[in-house]
Amino acid sequence: MTDFLNETHNPELRSWVGSANVAGCDFPIQNLPFASFKRSGSSEPMRIGVAIGTEILDLTAAAKTGVFSDQAAEALQAAAQPTLNALMALGKPCWSELRLALSRALREGAAQQSALQSCLVPQAEVEYALPAQIGDYTDFYTSIYHATNIGRLFRPDNPLMPNYQWVPIGYHGRASSVVISGENFARPCGQIKAPDAPAPVLAPSKRLDIELELGVFIGSGNTLGQPIPLSQAEDHVFGICLLNDWSARDIQAWEYQPLGPFLAKNFATTISPWVVTLEALAPYRAPLERPAQDPQPLPYLDSADNRSHGALDIQLEVGLQTSQMRQHDPKAEARICRTSYRHAYWTMAQMVTHHTVNGCNLQPGDLLGTGTLSGPTLDQAGALIELTSGGKNPLQLPNGEQRTFLEDGDAVVLRGWCEKQGFARIGFGSCWGTILPAKQPI
């Protein structure tokens, strides 16, 4: 573990940006995540910034101050763009140098304070765009608890498919419909077939669901035909965001065999604006938990390092806000799930390595979804289909309402954070989406 830690993780560090020193802050100086932003309603170009407390350090403006040098200055120039792709392509050493330089420049007493003070923009005054140009999006299925819970609904006697414990299951999603937090979308339409109906109908989904996931952003890629070994997999990961892969369960039930999800998944995937770097997450590494009696991974997916610290203890929760709640209090919501990424059956490194073992080339800005991150108990289930046992047991909300699946006007928020004794708490911000009524089918 100590090999992953450096001076940027020191919990005693404080910033000259006062809001970064407030207890419980998502964005202390030990975090420094990246996002693409501009001032709300302005005609300014999008640019990359780093969160510090309730402020954003505008990296385009910071690059013009000339207070950074050497490799950090090179990385800062690459970051002075509308998206992170150019910085991602530079590779891990450059990312690390930039993080160190930013950490030193934002600390109390830093000589760069006077130059950088004018580069701050309040987060309350901005709007966000996707942090990277996403060339490809692959969604995995890394939670054995989710896979078992879903399987039990359809195959009570054989809930887990035999390949699950051997291979990281995934499918290719639709990058064009990945949207940023706060961008609302219409309820999807598609073919739906009731069990006793003679034929399907084209209709709006009645079983619209969430999927609590994390998004893994690829940094530097690999050459076509050249796999990424497990020992190098994390060097290709730039950072992690929150991800909600909205799912239309009734459309999915009719279409998913034999080739898997299609219209049930490709209408919208929401991600949070802030990408937390893998380096910032170093203190929160955890052992990979896998029962000794389970099949052990094939050699290309196994290593002592992956077993000892391949998992990440990222705390996750889901909040639901109905229209009725919002009418009484714009901030009201009900927490419906709390879990941790450490329960995943397959690690981030195993996802990257398996994705490329056949020679597939990943590129800067590619996005990998972890799949729904359910934990071992029902209150840790990351999808409504699990929480309600397929709609049979509605959720009882604090205001007296019930939900089996999402209704028009419902808003869902994902949150994530890491905390551990002896280290600073860091957060991911939030990931919001609201369901609008379906548009008229064709």
326 known ligand binder: no
128 known ligand binder: no
245 known ligand binder: yes
How far, in Å, CA of 254 to CA of 208, rounded? 14
Q: Of 331, 337, 328, 217, which is closest to residue 278 (Cα–Cα)? A: 217
H/E run at residue 103: helix 92-106
Q: Strands (DSSP E) along 53-183, which ranges?
A: 55-58, 120-122, 126-129, 137-140, 170-172, 178-180
Pair of tokens at residue 108: 């109390």
252 known ligand binder: yes
Using N-to-C axis directions, what is the helix angle for 92-106 and 70-79, rounded to 10°? 100
372 known ligand binder: yes
Cβ neighbours of 293 (radius 10 Å):
6
70 known ligand binder: no
Q: What is the DSSP code (8-state) at residue 366? A: -
Angle at 149 between CA 288 and CA 392, to 5 degrees: 150
Q: Strands (DSSP E) along 275-403, which ranges?
A: 276-277, 285-286, 311-312, 315-321, 334-340, 367-369, 395-396, 402-403
341 known ligand binder: no
Which residues on adjacent β-strands are paired with residue 96? none
366 known ligand binder: no
φ, ψ at 50 (rounded to 5°) = -120, 130
Q: What is the 3 state secondary structure string of 109-124?
A: CCCCHHHHHHHEEEHH
Q: What is the DSSP code (8-state) at residue 45? A: P
Q: What is the DSSP code (8-state) at residue 181? A: T
269 known ligand binder: yes
146, 236, 343, 354: which is the annotated catalytic residue?
A: 146
* Cβ-Cβ contacts under 8 Å for 395 (sequence gap 6 or more): 320, 336, 384, 387, 388, 402, 403, 404
Active site residue 146: yes
Q: What is the 3 state secondary structure string of 382-441?
A: CCHHHHCCCCCCCEECCCCCEECCCCCCCEEEEEEEECCCCCCCEEEEEEEEEEECCCCC
Q: Which residue ranges make up the annotated binding site? A: 139, 141, 155, 211, 213, 245, 252, 256, 265, 269, 372
Q: Which residue ranges make up the annotated binding site for substrate? A: 141, 155, 252, 256, 372
Q: Which residue ranges make up the annotated binding site for Ca(2+)? A: 139, 211, 213, 245
Q: Which residue ranges make up the annotated binding site for Mg(2+)? A: 245, 265, 269
Q: Which residues are catalytic?
A: 146
